[in-house]
Amino acid sequence: MAESPNTVTLTIDGHEVTVPRGTSLLDAAKTIGEDIPHYCYHPGLTAPAMCRLCLVEVEGAPKPMPSCVTAATDGQVVHTQSELALSRRRGVLEFYLVNHPLDCPICDQSGECKLQDYVHQEGREHGRSREPKRVFGRDDFGGDVLFYGDRCVMCTRCVRFMDEMEQDSRLTVVERGNRSVIDTFFEEGLEGTSWSGNIVDICPVGALVSKEFLHKARAWDLDHTPSICPSCSQGCNIDLHTRDNLVQRLKPRENMEVNGWWMCDHGRANYEWINFGERLEAPLVRTDAASRAMGWKDALGSLVARADELKGRPVLAVASPFASNEDLGALQALVDHLGGGSVVYRMPRAEAEMPMKGFPQLARRRDLAPNGTGADLLGMTRVGDDAGRGGLEQVAAHDGILIVLGDALADQGETFGEGAALYVHLGTHGGPAAAHADYLLPITTFAEQEGTFTNHERRVQRFWKGLDGPGAARPAWFVLGVLLGEMGGGATPRSAADAFALLGARAAAFAGLTYDDLGTRGAVVNDAVPLAGD
Amino acid sequence: MSDAPFKNPGWAGNTGEFDLTEDQVRGDEFVGERPKAGGHPSASATFPFMLPEKNPDTPLFEGEYQERFEKILTRYPTKRAALLPALALAQEIRGYVSPESMDRVAELLDLSSAYVRGVATFYTMYNKAPVGRYLVQVCTNISCNLCGADEVLEAFLKYTDTEMGEISEDGNFTVIEAECLAACGFPTCVQINSRYYENVTPTEVPKIVEHLKADAAKGPR
Amino acid sequence: MAYPYVSDREVRILSRNFGDPSARRLETYEAQGGYGALKKALEMGPDAVIDEVKASGLRGRGGAGFPTGVKWSFMPKDTNKPHYLLCNADESEPGTFKDRELLRWDPHQLIEGLLIGAYAIRAEHAYIYCRGEFFETTQVLAKAVEDAYAKGYIGQDVLGSGVTIDVTVHIGAGAYICGEETGLMNSLEGRRGQPRVKPPFPAAVGAFGMPSTINNVETLAAVPHIVKNGGAWYREQGTEKSPGTKLFCVSGHVNRPGNYELPLGFPLMDLIEDVCGGMKDGHALKAVIPGGSSVPILNAAECADCTLDYEGVQAAGSMLGCASVIVMDEHTDIVKQVRRMVQFYAHESCGQCTPCREGTAWMTKILQRIEDGRGTEEDLQTLLDMCVQMTGTTICVLSDSAAAPVESSIRKFKDEYLALIRRGERVGAA
C-alpha cells in the first residue's frame, strides 16, 4: 500500500477505504454506508467525545475508540460491528435508558428520535434498571424553546451551539455527574437570541422542543419537501414539513455552501402566511358591472383580445421579489412582447445584516425577500422604501397597460390602477388595491409550485412543490407563459424547467443553466462576461 | 485558637510518647490572618480565613479585595482562569455564591453569566445558598467510615439539632456529609469552616459543639 | 525534631521533617542544605537534570507510575510558546493523605523540586494546584512561596542564573476529578473540571493550550534529593523497576495508621504487622485496598505475599496507585464499604461520559438496594456487566475506578452479597 501525503487507506468492516488524511473514523465509515451511532458529535460543532456511543474496535488499540475523534491512519483495521463494539454501544444505550422517561407517546421527537432509532437498531431488548428514575421536569428556556430535562442525553450539542455558533453562551451544564442538567442563567432565557431555534434541530432526542410545534403533529405524519427559505436573500436551504396541505414547520436542510445546517429564528417562524386561507381560487374578470369568475380558458382568451386592442399602449409592471426566477422571467417576457416598459419591484430591507458569528457566511441578510437578486438580473428596478412600501405613484396613476405580479400592494388604496386602460393583477389574495383590476388571476405561492430563487451571492437554488394550490390557482410562470403563447410571443413552457431554460434569453447570467445543473444544492449564475471593447 | 479542648495530634502514629501542640502541627505561625489584599501576588488566590463579617450585600470588589482581585488577574495568561479564585473571593466576602455574585463575577471577567453558573455548580466548595456560621463537613468516605464516621455524623446532627444540609435554628451550624478530606490516617476527619478536626470520635462531638457555641457567643464571627 | 521512628525499616527522605514544626521555615530548610539542589540543577542545565531524573527511575507518585524523567523529556525543547509545570496537589483519592503532610511539614522541599522541574522543562511559570479544602495547608505553602520569592529562589533571574520561574499557588474548589491531569488543567483555566480527550497530550497542548507537564507533589518532592545525590543513589532503595522510597498512607483497622516512608517493594504484611503495629483490637485481616479506593480489593490470602511495588501489587491482582493502604478487618461490611466508595464516584463523576455519569449513579442505587436487603441475585450479574461496560469506555478512568471495587468485591466476597440478598444477613451488624 503506497503511502500518500494527503490520503490514508484503512480497512473498515472488511472494506478497504481511502479517505483524506485527518478524516475521523466516523466519517470514514460513512463512505461505506456505515452510520455509527453518535450523539455528542455534530459535524458543525467541536467534538467532545463524551457520549461514548460511537465506540468502535480498532485492532491494536487497548480500548474501544470513540470514532468521532479518532483520526483514520494508514493500515488501521476498524470493526464497527464486532462483538466488542456492539457490546460497548449496547452498554451505553442501556445507561441512557436508566433515566430516560420513555414518554415517547407524548414526545414530539418520537419518530425522529435518535435514542429510539439506536435502541431499536442495536440496543438491548429489555432494560434491567429497576430503580426509580431521576426527575428534572420541564423548563421554559425562552424564545421558542422548551426543555424536558428528563429526556436529555447530555450530549451538550445545544450548549456548544450557543457557545460556538451563536457565540452567546446562554446555555450551560449545571451541577455535575448524574445531577448535571442543561440550564440557562436562572431566570435569563434565550430571549433576544437569533439562532437558538437550531438547538431544537440538533437535539438528538426530545429534550429541546419547539413551543410553536408542541403537540401539533407527529413526526411520521409530516411530508418533507426541499425548499428555500423565503424570508431573506440568504436563501437558506430548508425542508417544508407539511401535513393536511398546511406547512407545519420549517427545518434547515444542509447545504455547506449556503447555510450549513442552520437557519435563523426569524425565517423559521415566518411561515404562517403560506397557510393563510381566503385565497383567490378562480380568475376574476371585471365586466361592465361586476367581477365574474371564469375558467382559465375564457379568462385568458378575453385578456388576449383586450391586450390586442390596446397594443402599442405603454406598459408598466410591478413584480415581487418573493416571486421565482421563472415567474419574473415570464413577466419580463410578456412586458417585452407588449412593447416594453419598466418593471419595478419593492422589497423590505432590514437595518443591518445579522451574521451567525460561528459561521459567518450565513447571515440574515438585509434584503428581506428571497429573490431581489433574480429581479435585478432580469433588469427590474427596485423602488420604494425599506419597509417595502411606496414608490408606486407613477404606476398607480398609469393610463396604459398595468400588470402586477405577486405584490399584495398593502399600502395602496382602492384607486390603484383606476385609470389604467388594462389592469392585470396576478396574486394570491386580491385586496383593496386590486379593486380596479380588470383581470384578477389566482397564482400559487412558492410552496405550491416548483421554481428557483437567486440568493444574495447570485446562487440559483431550486425549491419543490410541497402543497397543492387552491382551486384554479396556477404558477405565475404558467399563466404568463400561456398568455404569451396565445399572443404569439413564443413557445409556452410546459414545466418549471422549461420556464427556467427560457431565462437565458432574458438574462445572460442564466444562459446555459438547467435544473439538472442546479440539483439540490444550487449553482452560482454565470459571471457577467465583459463585452469586447468594454 | 489554641483553646480547643480536644486532641489533634496530626500524626496518627503517635502513641503518646511524642507530643506536639495542636498549633505546632497546624503551623500556627503560618496560619495567621492573611492580609485581605492577599500578600504577594503568588499567593493572592489562596484563602485567608473565612471572613467573620460575611455580608451578602458587600460589593464585589472594593478596597483590599479589589487589590487582591487585580493581583489574581496578573497570575494567569487568561482572564477566565481567574474565575475560580474570584468566586472564592466572592464567597469569602458574601458567605455564599449567590446568582448576583455569579453575574457580577461574569461581568468582571467578560464571561457569560450562564457559563459562570455552570462552573460554580461544578464545584462543591461554593455554597449555592447561605450556610450556618459553622459549616461542619464530616467525612464519611471509606477510611473514616471504617472507623465510625457514620456515628460521628449522627452525633453532629444530634448535638447541633439540625437536619443534614439545613441551618440550625440559632444560625450557628450547617452539617453536611463530605467526601474524603485527605486525612484518612486521622479518622474521623471533620472540617469546620477552614479548619480540620482530626481523630474525632462520637464522644468528642458534644465538646466540639459546645466549644463552637461558646466561640459564637463571643461575638460576630 | 521530627517524629520518632516507629520501625527501623523506615527510610525517611521526603518525610524527614514530618513532625518538626520548625522545618517549615526557610532558614531551617536552608540550614539543612535546602535549595542546594536548585543551585546544582542550574549549573547542570535542563537536559542533564532530565537525564539524572531518568537515571533515578523515579516514577510518578500520583497513581499511574509513569517515569518522571521520560515525561519531562516529552516537552518540546523550543520555547516559542510558554511552557507550564503544574503540581498536582489536589489530593482527594480516598485513602490518600500524603501530599497534605508533604505540603504542611516541608513546603520548601516541594518548592525546590517544583523549581528544578520547571527549569528542566523550560517552564517560566509553575502552578501548584492545591485542593481547596486545604485552607491551613495552603497558607503554610503560600507563606513558603512568598519567602522563597523574597530570597530570590523564585521569580526573575533565579539565583542570578538569568532563568525566570514564577510560582503561583492556585486553589481548587472541591472536585475530585480535578486530580485527573486534564481535568486539573480545565479547572486551572477557569472551566468545569472535566477531563479532556487525549490526544492531544499535555506535552503538546496542555494548560492554556500550551505544552505542559503535570507532576504529583510527592514526585516533585523527591526531585531535589535525586539531583543532590544522583540517580544512582536513589536506586539504592526500592526495586529494579520501582526504585526509591514511597510514602505509604495506611488507614483503617490498624493500630498505628499514618504515613510511612518505606522503600518500594516493602512487604504488605510487614507494613501492617510491623510498621503499623498490627490489626486494631487483634482482629483478623479481611481485605486490603492497596492503592486508594480506585483499585481492586485484595482479600487476606492475596495480601500474604504481596510486595508494595508497582509490579508486586499488580501480581497480587491490584494496583499500587498512590500507595494508600486501606486495611479492613474481619468485621467490615464489604457491601456497605463498596457502596460508599461507589457513592463517592457517583458524587464526583464530572458527568461527561455516559457510562460514568449513568453507571456510577445506577450502581449506587443497586448496591444501596442490596444493602437494604432488597437485592436479587440477578443484580450481581447486572453489576458485573456494568463493570465491563464502565471499564475502558470513558475519557478518563474515574469510571474504571468505580468499577474496580465492585467487580473485585463481587468476585472475592460474593458470599457477603449473597448473605444479604438471600437472608438479609449483614456482616459486622451487632
Q: Assign C427 a pLDDT band (cuts: 50, 70, 90).
A: confident
Q: How many helices (H) and strands (E) does chain C have?
A: 18, 11
For residues A259 and A194, is the Cβ–Cβ distance under 8 A? Answer: no
Question: Could you give the percent of chain C with pLDDT greater than 90?
Answer: 92
Per-residue pLDDT band for A5 (boundaries 50, 70, 90) equals confident
Provide the CA A207 distance to its chain's centre, in angstroms: 24
Interface of B with C in 156-195 (CB under 8 A): 179-187, 191, 194-195
pLDDT at A287: 82
Q: Where are the beta strands (DSSP E) in A215-321?
A: 223-228, 237-243, 246-252, 284-286, 291-293, 315-319
Q: Which chains have 3 or more CB–CB distances shorter than 8 Å to chain A?
A: B, C
Length of chain C: 430
CB-CB neighbors (< 8 A) of A183 in chain B: 114, 117
**Average pLDDT value for residue range B205-221:** 87
The predicted structure's pLDDT at residue B33:
79
CB distance B14–C3 less than 8 Å?
A: yes
Model confidence band, residue B49 (pLDDT cutoffs 50, 70, 90): low
Residue B204, C-alpha cell as written in the block: 468528642
Among A241-245, A526-530, B175-179, name the one with the lowest average pLDDT: A526-530
- Closest by CA to C427, choosing from C301, C219, C286, is C286
Residue A427 has pLDDT above 70, yes or no: yes
B115 near A CB under 8 A: yes
Mutual angle of helices C217-229 and C98-105, in 10-degree steps = 60
* Predicted pLDDT at C348: 97
Put simply, the answer to whether A95 touches C350 (Cβ < 8 Å) is no
Rg of chain C, C-alpha, whole Å: 22
pLDDT at B6: 40
Residue pointed to by grid coordinates 441512557: A96
Task: Give residue-wise pLDDT tens across range C365-405.
Answer: 999 999 999 999 999 999 999 999 999 999 999 999 999 99
In the prediction, which pLDDT does A326 show? 97
Nearest to C21 among B24, B40, B78 (CB): B24
DSSP class of A77: E
Chain A residues in contact with B121 by the CB 8 A cut-off are: 174-176
Of A324, A193, A164, nearest in space to A260 by CA = A164
Residue B136 touches partner C, C-beta closer than 8 Å: no
Q: Taking the CB of residue B99, how many other CB atoms lie within 10 A of it?
A: 16
pLDDT (mean) for A506-513: 91
> Residue for cell digits 495568561?
B77
Q: How far is CA C251 from CA A66, A226, B143, in A?
A: 38, 67, 6
Q: For position C429, what pLDDT does the model report?
A: 58
Question: How many residue pairs bridge chain B and chain C with CB atoms within 8 Å of each other?
Answer: 224
pLDDT digits (tens, 9 = 90+) for A358-372: 999 999 999 999 999
C233-277 pLDDT tens trace: 999 999 999 999 999 999 999 998 989 999 999 999 999 999 999
Closest partner CB to B183 (pick from C100, C172, C340): C100
Separation between Cα atoms, residue A147 and residue A189, nearest integer Å: 11
Query: Average pLDDT of B155-172?
Result: 95
Which pLDDT does position A376 carry in this prediction? 96
Could you give the residue ranges of the DSSP H alpha helices within A72-230? 83-99, 114-122, 157-160, 198-202
**Edge-to-edge strand order for the sheet containing A284-286?**
A291-293, A284-286, A439-442, A422-427, A401-405, A315-319, A343-346, A381-383
Q: For residue C214, give the amino acid letter.
A: I
Q: What is the pLDDT confidence band of residue A285, given thresholds at 50, 70 and 90?
A: very high
User: Which candidate from B99, B102, B114 shows the least CB-CB separation from A170?
Assistant: B114
Alpha helices in C45-153 (DSSP H): 46-56, 68-73, 98-105, 107-120, 135-150
ipTM: 0.94
> pLDDT, tens digit, for every residue of C110-122?
999 999 999 999 9
Q: Determine the Cα–Cα distance for residues A155 and A525; give it in Å rounded to an integer.
A: 40
Output phi, psi for C8, to 5 deg.
-75, 0
Distance, C-alpha C251 to centroid of its chain: 15
| Partners of residue A54 in chain C, C-beta under 8 Å | none
- State the cell numbers at A408: 399584495
Residue B3, pLDDT above cutoff 60: no
pLDDT reported for residue B144: 95
On chain A, the residues whose CB falls within 8 A of the CB of B116 are 185
pLDDT tens readout for residues A404-416? 999 999 999 999 9
- Chain B neighbors of C193, CB-CB under 8 A: 122-123
Q: Which of A169, A171, A191 has the most B C-beta neighbours within 10 Å, making it the best mutation to test the interface with B?
A: A169
Report helix, strand or coil for C142: helix
Judge whether residue A1 has pLDDT over 80: no
Instruction: Respond yes or no on whether the N-terminal peptide bond of residue C199 is cis (omega within 30° of 0).
Output: yes
Residues of B whose CB is below 8 A from C18: 11
Confidence of residue B11 (pLDDT cuts 50, 70, 90): low
Q: What values do phi and psi take at B110, rounded to 5? A: 60, 40
Single-letter code of the amino acid located at A41: Y
By C-alpha distance, the chain B residue nearest A183 is: B114
Distance from CA of C394 to the nearest CA of A (A): 7
Could you tell me which residues come within 8 angstroms of residue C341 by beta carbon, excluding any fewer than 6 positions away?
Answer: B141, B142, C94, C293, C402, C405
Asked if the model's pLDDT at residue B52 lies above 70, the reply is no
Of C354, C369, C392, the CB nearest to A96: C354
User: Are residues A370 and A228 in contact, defined by beta-carbon separation less than 8 angstroms?
Assistant: yes
pLDDT, average across residues A62-84: 96
Summarised one tens digit per residue, pLDDT across range A307-355 is 999 988 999 999 999 999 999 999 999 999 999 899 999 999 999 999 9
Looking from the CA of A185 toward its CB, the CA atoms found within 13 Å total 23
What are the CA-CA distances from residue C192 to residues A141, B102, C348 (Å)? 22, 14, 12
φ/ψ bin of C34: left (φ > 0), alpha (ψ from -120 to 50), beta (otherwise): beta
Q: Is A261 exposed, middle or buried (0-12, 13-18, 19+ CB in 10 A)?
A: buried
Query: Which three cell numbers mark C285?
Result: 485481616
**Which residue pairs from A61-69 have beta carbons closer than 8 angstroms and sit at least 24 positions apart in sequence?**
A62/C392, A63/C392, A63/C393, A64/A88, A64/C392, A64/C393, A65/A25, A66/C197, A67/A24, A67/A25, A67/A26, A67/A29, A67/A36, A67/A38, A68/A24, A68/A25, A68/A26, A68/A38, A68/A40, A68/A41, A69/A24, A69/A41, A69/C197
CB atoms C169 and B183 under 8 Å: no
Residue C430's pLDDT is 45
Task: State whether residue B193 sits within 8 Å of chain A by CB.
Answer: no
Determine contact: C392 vs chain A, CB below 8 A.
Answer: yes
Position C26: which residue type? L
Confidence check: pLDDT of C283 > 50: yes
Distance (Å) from the C-alpha of residue A89 to the closest C-alpha of chain C?
A: 9
The share of chain A scoring above pLDDT 90, in percent, equals 93
With beta carbons less than 8 A apart as the criterion, state whether C98 and C322 touch.
Answer: yes
User: Cell digits for B94?
Assistant: 458574601
Nearest alpha carbon to residue B28 among C21, A209, C178: C21
Closest CB to C135 among B13, B81, B195:
B195
Residue C291 amino acid letter: G
User: Which whole number is the average pLDDT over C286-309?
Assistant: 96
- Nearest residue to A63 (alpha-carbon basis) of B131, C198, B22: C198
- Exposed, middle or buried, C125 (CB in 10 Å: 0-12/13-18/19+)? buried
**Confidence category of residue A2, pLDDT binned at 50, 70, 90:** low
Compare CB distances from B47 to C135, C146, C341 and report the shortest one's residue. C135
pLDDT of residue A205: 97
pLDDT band at B51 (very low <50, low <70, confident <90, very high): low
pTM to 2 decimal places: 0.94
Average pLDDT for chain A: 94
Question: Is the CB of residue B108 less than 8 Å away from at least one CB of chain C?
Answer: no
Map residue A355 onto helix, strand or coil: strand
Cell numbers that stand for A179 in this block: 445531577
- Residues of chain C with Cβ-Cβ distance to A98 below 8 Å are 358, 361-362
Q: Are C183 and C202 in contact (CB under 8 A)?
A: no
Q: Please give the torsion angle defined by the CA atoms of residues C287, C291, C297 and C300, in that order, rounded to the nearest 10 degrees.
A: -30
**Separation of alpha carbons A479 and A475, rounded Å:** 6
**Does residue C178 surpass a pLDDT of 80?**
yes
Question: Which among C139, C256, C340 has CB closest to B140?
Answer: C340
Residues of A in Cβ contact (< 8 Å) with C360: 177-178
| Chain A interface includes C360 (CB < 8 A) | yes
Residues of B in contact with A172 (CB under 8 A): 112, 114-115, 117-118
